[in-house]
A and B are shown apart, each in its own frame.
Chain A
Amino acid sequence: MTETQTQNEWPLWEVFVRSRAGLDHKHCGSLHAADAQMAIQMARDVYTRRQEGASVWVVPSSQITASDPADKGMYFDPAEDKVYRHPTFYKLPKEVDHM
Chain B
Amino acid sequence: MYTQAMDTMGKEMAEAPKALRSAEELALQERFDARIDAGDFIEAKDWMPENYRKTLLRQISQHAHSEIVGMLPEGNWISRAPTLKRKAILLAKVQDEGGHGLYLYAAAETLGQSRDEMLAALHSGKAKYSSIFNYPTLNWADIGTIGWLVDGAAIMNQVPICRCSYAPYARAMVRICREESFHQRQGYDALLVMMREGTAAQKAMVQDAVNRWWWPCLMMFGPPDDQSPNSAQGMRWGIKRVSNDTLRQKFVDATVQQAQVLGVTLPDPDLKWNEERQHWDFGAIDWPEFYRVVAGDGPCNKERLAMRVKAWDDGAWVRDAALAHARKQATKQQAA
Residues of A within 8 A of B (CB): 1, 5-6, 8-10, 12, 29-32, 34-35, 38, 45-46, 49-50, 66, 68-69
**Given A1-B114, A8-B320, also A69-B43 (CB < 8 A):** yes
> Is A32 in contact with B115, judged by CB distance below 8 angstroms?
yes
- Of chain A, the residue at the smallest CB distance from B116 is A9
**Residue pair A1, B325 in contact (C-beta under 8 Å):** no
> Cα distance A38–B115 when bound, in Å?
18
Q: Check B117 for interface membership: any CB of A closer than 8 A.
A: yes
Residue in A closest to B171 when the chains form the complex, CB atoms? A29
Pairs across A and B, CB under 8 Å, 26 listed: A1-B116, A1-B117, A6-B116, A8-B116, A8-B319, A9-B114, A9-B116, A12-B109, A29-B103, A29-B106, A29-B175, A31-B106, A34-B326, A35-B322, A35-B329, A35-B330, A38-B322, A38-B326, A45-B95, A46-B99, A49-B95, A49-B179, A50-B179, A68-B45, A69-B43, A69-B46
B318-336 contacts to A (CB < 8 Å): 319-320, 322-323, 325-326, 329-330
Least CB distance, A27 to chain B, in whole angstroms: 10
Residues of B within 8 A of A34 (CB): 319, 322-323, 325-326
**Closest partner residue, chain B, to A46 (CB atom):** B99
Contacting pair B45 A66 (CB below 8 A): yes
Nearest residue (CB) in A for B44 is: A69
- Chain A residues, Cβ within 8 Å of B175: 29
Measured CB to CB, the residues of B under 8 A from A are 43, 45-46, 92, 95-96, 99, 102-103, 106, 109, 114-117, 120, 172, 175, 179, 319-320, 322-323, 325-326, 329-330
CB distance from B78 to the nearest CB of A (A): 17
A6 contact from B92, B99, B114, B325, Cβ within 8 A: B114
B165 to chain A, nearest CB (A): 15
Bound form: Cα–Cα A10–B120 in Å: 15
Minimum-distance CB pairs A-B, first 7: A34-B322, A35-B326, A34-B326, A69-B45, A30-B106, A9-B116, A34-B323
A69 to chain B, nearest CB (A): 5
Nearest chain B CB to A88 CB, angstrom units: 26
Chain B residues closer than 8 Å to A50, beta-carbon distance:
179
Do A8 and B323 touch across chains, with their CB atoms under 8 A apart? Answer: yes
Q: Which residues from chain A contact B120 at a C-beta distance below 8 Å?
A: 1
